[in-house]
Chain A
Amino acid sequence: MAKYLLLKHYRGGPKPAVDWAPMDQWTPDEVDAHMRFMHDFGARLEETGELVDAQALSPNGAFVRYDGEGRPPVTDGPFVETKDLIAGWYIIDVDSWDRAVELAGELSAAPGPGGRPIHEWLEVRPFYGVPAAVPE
């Protein structure tokens, strides 16, 4: 078993396959269908015993960095309108990289306008594992 992070970049990532409108421009039924899909995807991962964690992030927030001794940290943002905004993540514990890719592919097919898949880019990143108990 290995853990993977499926990072949702909202509309960011490599060149978008489909440039879909922001969600408030969808029809109410399209919004519902999308949210139902997200809910079901998480529930299904739980059933298969592959879900570790799922979290959504509010777009509010800011970049923060150290600005020297005795000075308050510098903040920049929030960048609510940024295209590449991390919207949330799933952490899965699966048998293989292939399974992780398969699941990311399914998540990326979440329905958007007209019920068509949004083709969202998911970033799939393996966690470092623990050293093997039986070194080769």
Chain B
Amino acid sequence: MNGELLRDLVPAVTGVLVRRGADFAAAEDAVQDALVEAVRGGPEGPPQDLRGWLITVAWRKFLDAARADTSRRRREVRVEGEPVPGPAEVVDDTLWLYFLCAHPALTPTSSVALTLRAVGGLTTRQIARAYLVPEATMSQRISRAKRVVSGVRLNQPGDVATVLRVLYLVFNEGYSGDVDLAAEAIRLTRQLAAQIDHEEVAGLLALMLLHHARRPARTSPDGRLVPLAEQDRSRWDHHLIAEGVEVLQNALARDRLGEFQAQAAIAALHADARTVEETDWRQIVEWYDELVRLTDSPVARLNRAVALGEADGPEFGLAALVGLDPALPRHTAAAAYLHERAGDLVTAARLYAEAARSALSLPERDHLMRQAARLNYRP
């Protein structure tokens, strides 16, 4: 049994148990017990159909534990009785775990941790390292999350939008430890897309692939942030881009636009341009119009203003900034950029320095500080 196989099998088998009525924590325990039995092995060696075998054994373990629990606490456990042994369900029950882990009763932080643990099959230690928190903290966060969802019975799929938000959060965390969360988010979204036919799942997958494709060019070897316009486009992963574009086109063809598809379309237009000068800013502005229409998000309006500055000229971009809350993340940086394009270098330098002070990450702060220094420098 290799680790990769188990990482797919464990969530799937846990999902089967949850769907049959086991509560989440009990299902996980039962699957662990079954694994121990599988590793120990019997005289007949490892089973041919490991998945089916695990489901059968884990379900038996769960029923044993539930019965013991029932007689001990005289509590009714909602199990329908032992199902007839047979081949595993065709539907991949991992899907149910996605919904459970993104349950609205959980905070986003808890949903993320539980999804990585239960669906992703990562260890608590790996998740803790990825989020730079002590293992005990992450362990506690996951246990609390499990308690919150332990009473939930899944008899219908939840809202796919909540699952997508969780996966999007995982993707945005990038990578800081020994686990590449962006790659993990892509793996989980791919798996979801294989199980559920939904245009926004495809949209999110396309968005992730298109952004991930640019990652090699986004930082210099010494850790500096390289803005899109200055990236070496030959270092983009063109296989990932091709895949992302194809996934997106199939999604768009269904004519049910959503925010992830719109964002992916913008990313695809950037990916399409062989040089920054070839960027089709006009179309990008149109996609931002769609995004604003779909989400009414101030962040989308801010990005639209920058795109408009490229398409029509910086003064149009600056005009579009008027009325937006200056406290929006990256508002000052966007204003600095547009002022620089408009030739007002003194204002631009002052705004870059101001933006550096409110930057959300160290590479971003350093980048903005360099921009300010560059404009202030009079040799």
Residues of chain A whose beta carbon lies under 8 Å from any beta carbon of chain B: 22-28, 30-32, 35-36, 39, 56, 58-60, 80
Contact = CB atoms under 8 A, between A and B. Distances in A.
Q: What 4 pairs between A and B have smallest CB-CB spacing? A: A24-B372, A24-B353, A31-B373, A28-B373
A24 B348 CA distance: 12
B376 A25 contact: yes
Contacts of B353: 22, 24
Given A35-B366, A58-B359, A60-B358, A28 B222 contact: no
Contact of B369 (A23, A27, A60): A23
B223 interface: yes
Nearest to A36: B222
Main SS at interface, chain A: helix
Interface in B77-106: none
Nearest to B377: A27
A116 B372 CA distance: 20
Q: Which of A22, A28, A36, A60 has most chain B Cβ within 10 Å?
A: A28
A39 B357 CA distance: 19
Nearest to A23: B369
Nearest to A27: B377
Given A58-B358, A58-B359, A24 B366 contact: no
Contacts of B360: 58
Contact of B370 (A25, A31, A39): A31
A22 to B, nearest CB: 8
A36 B370 CA distance: 13
Given A60-B357, A80-B357, A24 B222 contact: no
B355 to A, nearest CB: 10
A59 B355 CA distance: 11
Contacts of B376: 24-25
Interface of B: 222-223, 349, 352-353, 356-360, 362, 365-366, 369-370, 372-374, 376-377
Nearest to A40: B222
Contacts of B365: 58
A28 B370 contact: yes
A60 B373 CA distance: 21
B362 A31 contact: no
Contacts of B356: 24
A28 B374 contact: yes
A25 B373 CA distance: 6
A24 B352 contact: yes
B93 to A, nearest CB: 41
Q: Which of A24, A26, A31, A36 has most chain B Cβ within 10 Å?
A: A24
Q: Which of A25, A35, A56 has most chain B Cβ within 10 Å?
A: A35
7 contacts: A26-B373, A27-B373, A27-B377, A39-B223, A56-B362, A58-B358, A80-B357
A30 B358 contact: no
Contacts of A22: 353
Contacts of A26: 373
Contact of A39 (B222, B372, B373, B374): B222
A23 B376 CA distance: 10
Contacts of B372: 24
Contact of B357 (A31, A35, A56, A59): A59
B49 to A, nearest CB: 47
A60 B377 CA distance: 26
Contacts of B223: 39
A22 B356 CA distance: 12
A58 B369 CA distance: 13
Contacts of A39: 222-223
A92 to B, nearest CB: 18
A24 B373 contact: yes
A60 B360 CA distance: 10
A35 B357 CA distance: 16
A60 B369 CA distance: 16
A30 B357 contact: no
Contacts of B357: 58-60, 80
Given A24-B349, A24-B352, A36-B222, A31 B369 contact: yes
Contacts of B377: 27-28
A25 B376 CA distance: 6
A36 B222 CA distance: 8
B119 to A, nearest CB: 31
Contacts of A36: 222
A32 B374 CA distance: 11
Q: Which of B352, B360, B362, B373 has most chain A Cβ within 10 Å?
A: B373
A59 B357 CA distance: 6
